[in-house]
A = this chain, B = another copy of it.
Protein backbone atom coordinates (compact mmCIF):
# COMPACT_ATOMS: atom_id res chain seq x y z
CA UNK A 1 0.00 0.00 0.00
CA UNK A 2 1.30 3.47 -0.84
CA UNK A 3 0.87 6.67 1.10
CA UNK A 4 0.32 10.36 0.33
CA UNK A 5 2.51 12.62 2.48
CA UNK A 6 1.84 16.33 2.90
CA UNK A 7 3.70 18.80 5.09
CA UNK A 8 6.26 21.55 5.00
CA UNK A 9 9.21 21.55 2.63
CA UNK A 10 11.84 23.89 3.99
CA UNK A 11 15.33 25.25 3.75
CA UNK A 12 16.37 25.51 7.39
CA UNK A 13 18.95 27.39 9.40
CA UNK A 14 19.98 25.09 12.26
CA UNK A 15 22.05 25.98 15.30
CA UNK A 16 23.20 23.59 17.99
CA UNK A 17 25.84 24.32 20.65
CA UNK A 18 28.36 22.61 18.34
CA UNK A 19 27.40 23.61 14.84
CA UNK A 20 25.45 26.11 12.71
CA UNK A 21 24.39 25.49 9.10
CA UNK A 22 22.29 27.46 6.66
CA UNK A 23 20.07 26.43 3.73
CA UNK A 24 19.87 22.81 4.81
CA UNK A 25 17.05 20.54 3.69
CA UNK A 26 14.21 20.31 6.14
CA UNK A 27 10.46 20.30 6.59
CA UNK A 28 8.08 17.72 7.99
CA UNK A 29 7.17 16.29 4.57
CA UNK A 30 10.81 15.69 3.64
CA UNK A 31 11.78 13.88 6.82
CA UNK A 32 8.59 11.81 6.80
CA UNK A 33 8.92 10.88 3.11
CA UNK A 34 12.56 9.86 3.36
CA UNK A 35 11.77 7.76 6.42
CA UNK A 36 8.67 6.18 4.84
CA UNK A 37 10.51 5.42 1.60
CA UNK A 38 12.27 2.57 3.43
CA UNK A 39 8.94 0.82 3.84
CA UNK A 40 6.41 1.84 1.17
CA UNK A 41 5.85 3.91 -2.00
CA UNK A 42 5.41 7.61 -1.17
CA UNK A 43 3.48 10.30 -3.06
CA UNK A 44 4.68 13.71 -1.87
CA UNK A 45 2.59 16.91 -1.72
CA UNK A 46 4.16 20.30 -1.02
CA UNK A 47 5.32 23.62 -2.33
CA UNK A 48 8.84 24.82 -3.14
CA UNK A 49 10.36 28.07 -4.39
CA UNK A 50 12.84 28.72 -7.19
CA UNK A 51 15.75 28.39 -4.76
CA UNK A 52 14.98 24.75 -3.95
CA UNK A 53 18.00 22.68 -5.01
CA UNK A 54 17.57 20.22 -7.84
CA UNK A 55 19.84 17.76 -6.04
CA UNK A 56 17.25 17.53 -3.28
CA UNK A 57 14.55 16.57 -5.77
CA UNK A 58 16.96 14.04 -7.28
CA UNK A 59 17.58 12.51 -3.85
CA UNK A 60 13.83 12.14 -3.27
CA UNK A 61 13.35 10.61 -6.73
CA UNK A 62 16.21 8.18 -6.12
CA UNK A 63 14.22 6.93 -3.11
CA UNK A 64 11.27 6.20 -5.37
CA UNK A 65 9.25 9.13 -4.04
CA UNK A 66 6.59 10.40 -6.45
CA UNK A 67 6.97 14.18 -6.88
CA UNK A 68 3.90 14.81 -9.05
CA UNK A 69 2.29 16.60 -6.08
CA UNK A 70 5.15 19.11 -5.68
CA UNK A 71 4.26 22.61 -6.80
CA UNK A 72 7.05 25.00 -7.75
CA UNK A 73 6.33 28.72 -7.46
CA UNK A 74 8.14 31.98 -8.09
CA UNK A 75 9.77 33.14 -4.86
CA UNK A 76 11.73 31.51 -2.07
CA UNK A 77 11.12 28.22 -0.29
CA UNK A 78 9.70 28.22 3.24
CA UNK A 79 12.54 28.84 5.70
CA UNK A 80 12.73 28.00 9.38
CA UNK A 81 15.50 28.96 11.75
CA UNK A 82 15.79 26.90 14.92
CA UNK A 83 18.23 26.82 17.78
CA UNK A 84 18.90 23.97 20.20
CA UNK A 85 20.26 24.32 23.74
CA UNK A 86 22.78 22.06 25.50
CA UNK A 87 20.13 19.41 26.15
CA UNK A 88 19.40 19.05 22.42
CA UNK A 89 15.71 18.67 23.17
CA UNK A 90 13.14 21.26 22.05
CA UNK A 91 14.16 23.78 19.39
CA UNK A 92 13.63 27.48 19.93
CA UNK A 93 12.22 29.04 16.76
CA UNK A 94 14.38 32.05 15.92
CA UNK A 95 12.70 32.98 12.67
CA UNK A 96 10.08 31.73 10.23
CA UNK A 97 9.85 32.99 6.65
CA UNK A 98 6.71 31.55 5.05
CA UNK A 99 7.69 32.67 1.54
CA UNK A 100 5.88 30.53 -1.08
CA UNK A 101 4.33 28.50 1.72
CA UNK A 102 2.16 31.52 2.60
CA UNK A 103 -0.05 30.88 -0.43
CA UNK A 104 0.09 27.07 -0.31
CA UNK A 105 -3.24 25.65 -1.36
CA UNK A 106 -2.58 21.96 -1.92
CA UNK A 107 -4.22 20.35 -4.98
CA UNK A 108 -3.77 16.60 -5.01
CA UNK A 109 -3.14 14.96 -8.39
CA UNK A 110 -5.98 12.62 -9.42
CA UNK A 111 -3.96 9.43 -8.78
CA UNK A 112 -3.04 10.64 -5.28
CA UNK A 113 -6.69 10.96 -4.24
CA UNK A 114 -7.40 7.25 -4.58
CA UNK A 115 -4.45 6.24 -2.38
CA UNK A 116 -5.47 4.27 0.71
CA UNK A 117 -3.26 6.05 3.22
CA UNK A 118 -2.32 9.65 3.96
CA UNK A 119 0.08 11.25 6.40
CA UNK A 120 -0.73 14.85 7.30
CA UNK A 121 2.68 16.06 8.44
CA UNK A 122 3.12 19.09 10.64
CA UNK A 123 1.41 22.04 8.95
CA UNK A 124 -1.65 24.02 10.12
CA UNK A 125 -4.67 21.88 11.03
CA UNK A 126 -6.75 23.72 8.41
CA UNK A 127 -4.35 22.73 5.63
CA UNK A 128 -4.29 19.19 7.00
CA UNK A 129 -8.09 19.03 6.88
CA UNK A 130 -8.06 20.47 3.35
CA UNK A 131 -5.74 17.71 2.10
CA UNK A 132 -7.70 15.03 3.91
CA UNK A 133 -10.94 16.23 2.27
CA UNK A 134 -9.38 15.67 -1.16
CA UNK A 135 -8.70 12.00 -0.42
CA UNK A 136 -11.49 9.74 -1.70
CA UNK A 137 -11.67 7.18 1.05
CA UNK A 138 -8.43 6.62 2.92
CA UNK A 139 -8.42 3.63 5.27
CA UNK A 140 -5.43 4.98 7.17
CA UNK A 141 -5.30 8.74 7.81
CA UNK A 142 -2.60 9.94 10.22
CA UNK A 143 -1.60 13.40 11.44
CA UNK A 144 1.22 14.98 13.39
CA UNK A 145 1.21 18.45 14.95
CA UNK A 146 3.30 20.84 17.04
CA UNK A 147 3.00 23.21 20.01
CA UNK A 148 2.42 26.19 17.66
CA UNK A 149 -0.94 24.78 16.50
CA UNK A 150 -1.91 23.63 19.99
CA UNK A 151 -1.35 27.19 21.22
CA UNK A 152 -2.92 29.04 18.28
CA UNK A 153 -5.38 26.70 16.55
CA UNK A 154 -6.43 24.18 19.16
CA UNK A 155 -10.04 24.14 17.94
CA UNK A 156 -9.10 23.39 14.33
CA UNK A 157 -6.79 20.66 15.61
CA UNK A 158 -9.51 19.15 17.80
CA UNK A 159 -11.89 19.24 14.82
CA UNK A 160 -9.38 17.19 12.82
CA UNK A 161 -9.02 14.43 15.43
CA UNK A 162 -12.34 12.63 14.76
CA UNK A 163 -11.39 12.36 11.06
CA UNK A 164 -8.05 10.60 11.50
CA UNK A 165 -7.04 7.11 12.59
CA UNK A 166 -3.55 7.79 13.95
CA UNK A 167 -2.49 10.90 15.86
CA UNK A 168 1.18 11.61 16.60
CA UNK A 169 2.12 14.03 19.35
CA UNK A 170 5.05 14.46 21.69
CA UNK A 171 4.72 14.14 25.43
CA UNK A 172 4.73 17.85 26.28
CA UNK A 173 2.18 18.52 23.53
CA UNK A 174 -0.07 15.67 24.68
CA UNK A 175 -0.06 17.01 28.22
CA UNK A 176 -0.66 20.60 27.03
CA UNK A 177 -3.52 19.53 24.78
CA UNK A 178 -5.32 17.56 27.49
CA UNK A 179 -4.29 19.18 30.77
CA UNK A 180 -3.31 15.73 32.03
CA UNK A 181 -0.05 15.10 33.95
CA UNK A 182 0.57 11.49 32.97
CA UNK A 183 1.20 10.16 29.48
CA UNK A 184 -1.30 7.31 29.74
CA UNK A 185 -4.12 9.59 30.87
CA UNK A 186 -3.31 12.10 28.12
CA UNK A 187 -3.40 9.30 25.54
CA UNK A 188 -6.75 8.12 26.85
CA UNK A 189 -8.20 11.63 26.60
CA UNK A 190 -6.94 12.12 23.05
CA UNK A 191 -8.32 8.73 22.06
CA UNK A 192 -11.76 9.81 23.25
CA UNK A 193 -11.65 12.53 20.57
CA UNK A 194 -11.56 9.98 17.79
CA UNK A 195 -8.18 8.62 16.70
CA UNK A 196 -7.98 4.85 16.99
CA UNK A 197 -4.25 5.05 17.78
CA UNK A 198 -2.73 7.87 19.82
CA UNK A 199 1.06 7.79 19.56
CA UNK A 200 3.01 9.77 22.16
CA UNK A 201 6.73 10.34 21.64
CA UNK A 202 8.85 10.78 24.78
CA UNK A 203 12.33 11.38 23.38
CA UNK A 204 15.00 9.38 25.20
CA UNK A 205 12.20 7.50 26.99
CA UNK A 206 10.87 5.97 23.79
CA UNK A 207 7.29 6.09 22.63
CA UNK A 208 3.88 4.67 23.45
CA UNK A 209 0.82 3.92 21.39
CA UNK A 210 -2.65 3.74 22.84
CA UNK A 211 -5.35 1.81 20.98
CA UNK A 212 -8.49 3.63 22.10
CA UNK A 213 -10.78 0.85 20.84
CA UNK A 214 -9.01 -1.95 22.69
CA UNK A 215 -7.98 0.24 25.66
CA UNK A 216 -4.52 -1.25 25.22
CA UNK A 217 -1.21 0.61 25.41
CA UNK A 218 2.08 -0.41 23.80
CA UNK A 219 5.62 0.86 24.39
CA UNK A 220 9.01 0.67 22.77
CA UNK A 221 12.29 2.15 23.98
CA UNK A 222 14.32 4.76 22.16
CA UNK A 223 17.24 3.42 20.20
CA UNK A 224 20.21 3.68 22.61
CA UNK A 225 22.07 6.62 21.06
CA UNK A 226 24.96 8.17 22.96
CA UNK A 227 25.21 11.14 20.60
CA UNK A 228 22.40 13.42 19.52
CA UNK A 229 23.56 15.79 16.77
CA UNK A 230 20.34 17.41 15.54
CA UNK A 231 16.84 16.41 16.69
CA UNK A 232 15.12 18.31 13.86
CA UNK A 233 12.73 16.01 12.04
CA UNK A 234 13.02 13.20 14.58
CA UNK A 235 9.25 13.24 15.10
CA UNK A 236 8.48 13.22 11.37
CA UNK A 237 10.96 10.38 10.87
CA UNK A 238 9.32 8.51 13.74
CA UNK A 239 5.94 8.86 12.04
CA UNK A 240 7.46 7.55 8.80
CA UNK A 241 8.77 4.37 10.42
CA UNK A 242 5.58 3.83 12.42
CA UNK A 243 3.27 4.23 9.43
CA UNK A 244 5.64 2.23 7.24
CA UNK A 245 5.04 -0.86 9.36
CA UNK A 246 1.28 -0.27 9.57
CA UNK A 247 1.11 -0.05 5.78
CA UNK A 248 2.74 -3.47 5.51
CA UNK A 249 0.30 -5.01 7.95
CA UNK A 250 -2.99 -6.57 6.86
CA UNK A 251 -4.59 -5.17 10.00
CA UNK A 252 -2.85 -1.99 11.20
CA UNK A 253 -4.39 -2.36 14.67
CA UNK A 254 -3.15 -5.90 15.22
CA UNK A 255 -1.10 -5.68 18.46
CA UNK A 256 2.12 -7.08 17.01
CA UNK A 257 1.91 -4.61 14.10
CA UNK A 258 1.57 -1.68 16.49
CA UNK A 259 4.51 -2.90 18.59
CA UNK A 260 6.68 -3.33 15.49
CA UNK A 261 5.57 0.11 14.34
CA UNK A 262 6.71 1.69 17.60
CA UNK A 263 10.10 0.03 17.28
CA UNK A 264 10.47 1.17 13.67
CA UNK A 265 9.44 4.70 14.63
CA UNK A 266 12.12 4.84 17.30
CA UNK A 267 14.71 3.43 14.91
CA UNK A 268 13.93 5.95 12.17
CA UNK A 269 14.06 8.89 14.58
CA UNK A 270 17.44 7.66 15.81
CA UNK A 271 18.82 7.97 12.29
CA UNK A 272 17.36 11.46 11.91
CA UNK A 273 19.01 12.82 15.06
CA UNK A 274 22.38 11.17 14.42
CA UNK A 275 23.42 13.84 11.90
CA UNK A 276 22.54 17.36 10.81
CA UNK A 277 19.48 17.94 8.64
CA UNK A 278 18.40 14.90 6.62
CA UNK A 279 21.93 13.49 6.41
CA UNK A 280 21.19 10.69 8.88
CA UNK A 281 18.20 9.47 6.85
CA UNK A 282 19.91 9.93 3.49
CA UNK A 283 22.84 7.76 4.55
CA UNK A 284 20.94 4.58 5.34
CA UNK A 285 19.01 1.78 3.72
CA UNK A 286 17.37 -1.53 4.51
CA UNK A 287 20.34 -3.18 6.25
CA UNK A 288 20.92 -0.31 8.68
CA UNK A 289 17.22 -0.20 9.55
CA UNK A 290 17.12 -3.95 10.12
CA UNK A 291 20.23 -3.81 12.30
CA UNK A 292 18.79 -1.18 14.63
CA UNK A 293 15.45 -2.99 14.83
CA UNK A 294 17.42 -5.99 16.05
CA UNK A 295 19.16 -3.86 18.71
CA UNK A 296 15.78 -2.68 20.03
CA UNK A 297 14.55 -6.25 20.05
CA UNK A 298 17.49 -7.23 22.25
CA UNK A 299 16.58 -4.49 24.73
CA UNK A 300 13.10 -5.83 25.43
CA UNK A 301 11.87 -9.07 26.83
CA UNK A 302 10.44 -11.32 24.17
CA UNK A 303 8.67 -14.64 24.08
CA UNK A 304 5.63 -14.25 26.33
CA UNK A 305 6.53 -17.27 28.45
CA UNK A 306 9.76 -15.50 29.39
CA UNK A 307 7.54 -13.61 31.79
CA UNK A 308 6.54 -16.63 33.78
CA UNK A 309 8.29 -16.10 37.11
CA UNK A 310 8.74 -18.77 39.77
CA UNK A 311 6.86 -17.11 42.55
CA UNK A 312 7.48 -17.91 46.21
- Bound complex: CA A182 to CA B227 (Å): 10
In A253-277, the 8 Å CB interface with B consists of: 255-256, 259-260, 262-264
Contacts of A64 in B (CB 8 A): 312
Q: What are 21 A-B pairs at a CB distance below 8 A?
A: A37-B312, A38-B312, A41-B312, A87-B181, A182-B226, A182-B228, A184-B225, A205-B206, A206-B219, A218-B299, A255-B298, A260-B306, A260-B309, A263-B301, A290-B307, A290-B311, A293-B309, A297-B301, A297-B304, A297-B307, A301-B302
Determine whether the beta carbon of B301 is less than 8 Å from that of A259. yes
- Chain B residues with CB under 8 A of A299: 216-219, 259
Min CB distance A236 to B, Å, is 17
What is the interface residue range for chain A against chain B? Answer: 35 or more
Does A245 sit within 8 A of B, measured CB to CB? Answer: yes
A97 at the interface (CB under 8 A from B): no
User: Measured between C-beta atoms, what is the minimum distance from A43 to chain B in Å?
Assistant: 14
Q: Is the CB of B206 within 8 A of A184?
A: no
Task: Write the chain B residue with the least CB distance to A255.
Answer: B298
The answer to whether B226 and A188 touch across the interface, beta carbons within 8 angstroms, is yes
B310 with A248: CB separation less than 8 A? yes
Contact assessment for A307 and B296 in the assembled complex, using a CB-CB cutoff below 8 Å: yes
Q: Which residue of B lies closest to A202 (CB)?
A: B205
- Cβ of A220 within 8 Å of any chain B Cβ, yes or no, is yes
Residues of B within 8 A of A245 (CB): 309
Residues of B within 8 A of A228 (CB): 182
- CB proximity of A226 to chain B, nearest CB, Å: 6
